[in-house]
Every structure is written in C-alpha cells, then in structure tokens.
C-alpha cells in the first residue's frame, strides 16, 4: 500500500490477536514497529520473531492505562527510530459484566479501553505533528449494538467510536488522520479459549451457530489478518482523504 514503507508505527496490544496480525502486516509493508504490550512473555517473543524474519521491531512493556509508561514508550521509540508516523490502538480488556459490575471493574474497563487509547494519542500526536500521521483505534460492533451482559465492554467501545470522531476533528489541522475499525467476532486466542472452555464449541460449531457465525451475513467469524489488512489501508496514503470514520469489518453483522 502506498506510503507505508520506511515509516514507524506503535501498535499497542501488538503481541497477540489482532494487534499481532497488524504488526506482521505492517512489517511486510516495510514499517518499523514498537510493540507496546504489557505481556512479559509474548511481547519480547513477538519482537524477536519479527527481527529474526528480517523486520524491525522492539517490545515496550506498557500498561496503556498508566500515563508514565505510555510516555516512556513513545519517547524511547523516538530515540530509537527518530519519528512516529502511525499509532494503532489495539490494547483492550474484556470484562463480561452487566448491571452487577463493580466500581473496580468499571474503572479497569474504562481505564484501558477508553483512557488508554486517549493517552497514547496524546503522547504520539506531538511527534506526528512534525510530518503528519495516521491513527487507527480499535472499536467494535459492540459499541453500536446491545448485547446481554456486555454493558462494560459495549459502553467503552461506543466511547471509542465517538472519541475517534472528536480526535479526528482536533488533529486535522496538524495533518493527523484518525479513524476506527469496528470488528465483528474475530477468532483470536482469547475468543477461541472462551468458545472452547465456556461455550464448549469448536470454531466450526461457533460458525454454524445462528447466534455466533449466523449473526454475520457471511455466516462465519473473521481471522485477525482480515482486520489487519483494512487497518494497514487506513494508515496508508491510499486512505489519505479518510478521517473521522468508523469502518465496520463485521461480515455484514450490523447491516442485518
């Protein structure tokens, strides 16, 4: 995709799932990546795998809800690579709770899913303003629909969707585009574990279930790579006139 080669990106939550797929896709496009992920094992392993394959990446152990850690990772990225062109806010926490959610659960969900993304944008924007840049936030179809026992997650993702529009307006004069993607169900490690251990379903069974795969027009769930491709597009110069958008990547879920 046009304009990606030679650029530098920070991908939060980049050690697993959609984040890891984004890292791999950007590396194939010639992007250098900071993998900002709090996992002490998967983060370094992801960076080592990228570097052994000929790409360029390093791991910053970051809890995105802690501003000091976010700021340190951003400054270290500047010291190492001299620029920051892209930010992909993938880091998230999923707490399945409804009305019975505790104050602590609300705070953790909002601190990571909303404030964490905002903090990352805050600290990269001043560096992006030098040459312009692009940001993609990970929202969800859950921010646009109602689901039972999903109050915490859906509320946070709805906030991300509208925060994206506000940030796009605030940063447009600095040449920074801000968009969000809204995935449907994605078959990553966490979802696989949930379906296997809680719902007692394989992927094939989940996709055949009318309440899971059947909710999507394409009658299946997505692979992480199917989310990473549109994210790479939104970062690239091919999307140079797109900002403030919430792109649905949901197999037709929200169209039905």
Residue written as tokens 């976010």?
70
User: Which of 86, 150, 153, 253 is flagged as catalytic?
Assistant: 153
Please answer whether residues 64 and 117 qualify as being in contact, where contact means their C-beta atoms are separated by less than 8 angstroms.
yes
Which residues make Cβ contacts (< 8 Å) with residue 66, sequence separation at least 6? Answer: none
* CA-based torsion, 242, 245, 248, 249: positive or negative: positive
Measuring CA to CA, which residue among 172, 233, 236 is closest to residue 7?
236
Please answer whether residues 45 and 15 qualify as being in contact, where contact means their C-beta atoms are separated by less than 8 angstroms.
yes
Is residue 153 among the annotated active site residues?
yes
Hey, what are 248's tokens?
């649905």
Q: Strands of 57-60's sheet, edge to edge? A: 57-60, 32-36, 8-12, 86-89, 133-138, 176-183, 246-249
Nearest-5° angle of CA 225, CA 227, CA 228?
A: 60
Cα–Cα separations (whole angstroms), residue 122 to 13, 87, 119, 129: 17, 11, 5, 11
Residue written as tokens 């990352």?
120
Residues forming the active site: 153
């Amino acid at each position: 995709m046009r304009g990606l080669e030679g650029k530098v990106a920070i991908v939060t939550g980049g050690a697993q799932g959609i984040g890891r797929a984004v890292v791999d896709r950007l590396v194939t496009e010639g992007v250098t990546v900071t993998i900002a992920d709090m996992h002490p094992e998967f983060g370094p392993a992801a960076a080592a795998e990228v570097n052994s394959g000929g790409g360029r990446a390093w791991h910053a152990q970051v809890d995105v809800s802690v501003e000091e850690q976010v700021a340190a990772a951003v400054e270290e990225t500047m010291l190492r690579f001299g620029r920051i062109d892209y930010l992909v806010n993938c880091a998230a926490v999923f707490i399945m709770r409804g009305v019975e959610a505790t104050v602590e659960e609300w705070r953790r969900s909002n601190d990571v899913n909303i404030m964490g993304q905002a903090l990352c944008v805050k600290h990269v924007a001043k560096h992006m303003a030098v040459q312009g840049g692009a940001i993609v936030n990970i929202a969800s179809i859950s921010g646009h629909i109602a689901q039972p026992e999903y109050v915490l997650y859906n509320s946070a993702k709805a906030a991300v969707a509208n925060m994206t529009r506000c940030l796009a307006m605030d940063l447009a004069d600095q040449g920074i585009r801000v968009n969000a993607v809204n995935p449907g169900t994605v078959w990553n490690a966490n979802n696989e574990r949930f379906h296997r251990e809680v719902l007692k379903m394989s992927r094939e069974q989940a996709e055949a279930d009318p309440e899971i795969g059947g909710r999507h027009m394409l009658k299946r769930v997505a692979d992480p790579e199917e989310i990473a491709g549109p994210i790479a597009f939104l970062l690239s110069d091919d999307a140079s006139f797109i900002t403030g958008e919430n792109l649905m990547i949901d197999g037709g879920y929200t169209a039905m």
